[in-house]
Amino acid sequence: MLIQPLAHEEAKQICNWRYDGEYSFYDIAYSPDTIEELTDGSYYSVTTAYGAEMIGFFCLGPHAQVPGGRLAGLYGGKDVIDVGIGMRPDLVGQGRGADFLATVTQYTIDTFQPRRLRLSVAAFNRRAIALYTKAGYRRLAAFDSCGTEFWLMLYTRPL
């Protein structure tokens, strides 16, 4: 897989992705501000080798944080990077999540050398929680943000 900063055309593609049912929670509406955020350098595309097809994207830092978690003071700490992950809707549920997550995790560790990675996931997203748990993420806390329960999960890289 190839990782590179998210380009303008890729940002527009992501704004057209539509998830089924309750997962529509993750749909991103198009606006100039959204495109500006997605291309500000904290978002990355994950494509097949040679960049032929976008598999998903991820972001690092404050854009990966959820407002309710900020209000609860859950995002402090040293040597930790917050990660937000999104896979293309038509690829969800096809068994590609483990490789996608491993690619994002390894890239983040290799590039930024954090001791820990932290992510926030909607509590209803059981398949993502199962994937993260299997990959070594552990639940730290639960919090509410705009009426949705989220879990804060932490991965500590082996020494």
Give pLDDT tens digits for 65-78. Answer: 999 999 999 999 89
| Residues 121-149 pLDDT 10s | 999 999 999 999 999 999 999 999 989 99
pTM of the entire predicted model: 0.92
Is 159 a residue whose pLDDT tops 80?
no
Token couple for 28: 């991103």
Position 50: which residue type? Y
Rounded to the nearest angstrom, the gap between the alpha carbon of residue 100 and the centroid of all alpha carbons in its chain is 11
Q: Which of 155, 142, 158, 138 is nearest to 66 (CA)?
A: 142
